[in-house]
Structure 1
Amino acid sequence: QNGLGFDYKWDLGWMNDTLSYFQAAPSQRTQLYHKLTFSMHYFYNEHYLLPLSHDEVVHGKASIVQKMNGGYEDKFPQARALYLYMYAHPGIKLSFMGNELGQLREWDEKREQDWELEDYPLHKAFHRFLRELNHCYLTCPALWELDSSREGFQWIDCHQEEACIYVFERISDSQTILAIFNFSDMTRSYIFTCDRIRTFRLLIASDMTQFGGTCDYPEKELLFRKKTAEFTLSAFSGRWYLLD
């Protein structure tokens, strides 16, 4: 409004809460559960950008993948789940160079990125996941069309503290996407209550084998003829479904 044209405010609260949640041990996430729900209490006060920026991957802070709790193989499923959550959350996305490779060292302006990581299966699969995630985001208006409107987001379940499960919908005039996440270190079952018969078409899942996960999804469409649908969610995973 008669200013310099800077439309977005960096949501540093979202960034700090989200990264501290994923840095925490799974056993602590039950107490930290609402770090991931708090952002939607204030989100509509500003036009926000979600920053996993240069400032988060330098000066002893560690790269994004390195921040994830646990050992080498545990970090990648959590990082994939984090990015799936980030892209489903309202707000413009910012992810700094090297993040898409699952780079383990901090960024350094004096050297190029570690392109040789593409030779390692987990890193190559992580890069493939980020490419597919970007494609899904760009082609699904439910994820951005109503970013600044309360009609574009709806919590379905944000009270699964003991299970570390989060469920919400992103909504546009033309489509609805169900996002469901299990951020615990255990496989969980979750029952979703439908108000009518619905078709769920899987868009992307962070635990797909082609992304370095362990799950195959032979059926991309599920028709539920009852008012409840049960999902089995692997540890540190998330999924997006396009609803009829």
Structure 2
Amino acid sequence: MVVEDDPTVAEVVSGYLDRAGHVVDRAGDGPTALARAAAHWPDLVVLDLMLPGMDGLEVCRRMRGRGPVPVIMLTARGDEDDRILGLEVGADDYVTKPFSPRELVLRVESVLRRTRPAAVSRPPAAAGLAVDPAARRATKNGTELALTLREFDLLAFFLGHPGRAFSREDLMREVWGWDFGDLSTVTVHVRRLRGKVEDDPARPRLIQTVWGVGYRFDSTAHEDDAHEDDAHEDEEHQGEEHQGEGS
């Protein structure tokens, strides 16, 4: 679905996507987009940020409230805060106007490719976290996590490569499938993912920052916590024994 109030931009984008083999539905405003999505849920939404009446951020929020769907945000603004805000509400990618329609098609196909279920014999799991790629479902200690599609891809990648340090360029290439792009995209998604999987996001233990490199997933973090708990219990027991001797 292409949600764009500029008829010329909508026609160009739809034409390129159609020639690439995609069936395209169009909407010129937020309420129309939500109504059409409710009637026929799209596989992906190309969503303009600056829409009349209801802006793209609100449309994205409402769509996310109804169900998972990949979203690529279109914005005429070059300000980094606007791009990050789009990612914060769940957009999987953004393209700044003016843009190349061919690049947009490549980004659409990259996102669709990443969100299709992957065939794996054993879903990756570690440190109380588990993902099921076929069901697009992630859990922490048995409780399902509310992840966006890109957050799910990022977590699955980390679980599949524990203990290895990856730069933001590595993650953009391996998770997003891009050899180019704004690296703040990776930073925002790592921060959002930490907020959902870490016990204390301000002091992350699972997704660790490797200064000067990037990020590393520590699959032994929960084991370390368990060892610390055992050590605490031993200290408490020793203290009780000493108290018993003193009495």
Query: What TM-score, normalized to structure 2?
Result: 0.28
Q: Which has the higher contact order (CA 8 A, sep 6+)?
A: 1
Which structure shows the bigger proportion of residues in strand conformation? Answer: 1
Which has the higher Rg, Structure 1 or Structure 2?
A: 2
The answer to which structure has the higher helix fraction is 2
Question: TM-score, normalization: structure 1?
Answer: 0.28
